[in-house]
Chains A and B, each alone.
Chain A
Amino acid sequence: QVQMVQSGAEVRKPGASVKVSCKASGYTFFSYGISWVRQAPGQGLEWLGWISTYSGDTNYAQKFQGRVTMTTDTSTTTVYMELRSLRPDDTAVYYCAREKYKFSGSLGYWGQGTVVTVSS
């Protein structure tokens, strides 16, 4: 069965960086792209970007351009999301999510979420 397992909670100071991992299993890794979505406390869902696990191509939300980097490691079937220059309003649960259907933005498989807290 498809599983997306994320790394554990992180605490960072403003201005620092955080790198969250998402290990995929149960399917052919490079067949489906993966998105990152975050949710601030009590707020809605916000898309950060997408990475092709086949080519490494990325699409980032304009809001995060220059501050986010997504990478993939096919040898360990893991994708990473690094967010830099952290601010307190980056405090959120960060999710990775796999496409349910190829070439589709239908996010059918989600990680458990990683809590990132940004506080001085």
Chain B
Amino acid sequence: DIQMTQSPSSLSASVGDRVTITCQASQDISDYLNWYQQKPGEAPKLLIHDASNLETGVPSRFSGSGSGTDFTFTISSLQPEDIATYYCQHYDNLSVTFGGGTKVEF
């Protein structure tokens, strides 16, 4: 099974900071990698699909990059409403695997 290692598990930042989260796959997964945002008490929200494609309506301060085994999720200028937990997720035709999550706090 493919393992997804996400880091850091938590981070503290200030408004306006650039925030970077990484996700590493245990083997080559091409670009089959999504990013989600989850706020307390809510269902996850898809932000980026297939490594770098921003979902419609998602602010452009969010971005994703990478392919193969190493992926990066970036918030270019952290806003108060971005406080949440972020998950990477790999999918293929047989299964879905989530990273462990990164809690972003002030």
Cross-chain pair count, CB within 8 angstroms: 62
User: How many angstroms from the CA of A104 to the CA of B44 in the assembled complex?
Assistant: 17
Task: Knowing A44-B87, A111-B43, A112-B43 are in contact, say whether A106-B50 is a contact too (CB < 8 A).
Answer: yes
Q: How many residues of A contact B (CB 8 A)?
A: 23
Contact indicator A100/B46 (Cβ below 8 Å): yes
A106 in complex: contacting residue of B1, B38, B46, B95, CB < 8 Å: B46
Residues of B within 8 A of A (CB): 1, 32, 34, 36, 38, 43-46, 49-50, 55, 87, 89-92, 94-101
| Chain A, residue nearest B90 (CB) | A105
- Complex Cα gap A106–B29 (Å): 14
Q: Which of B38, B55, B96 contacts A105 (CB 8 A)?
A: B96
- A sample of 12 more A-B contacts (CB under 8 A), given A105-B90, A106-B46, is A35-B96, A44-B100, A45-B36, A45-B98, A95-B44, A100-B46, A104-B49, A105-B96, A107-B34, A107-B36, A111-B43, A113-B43
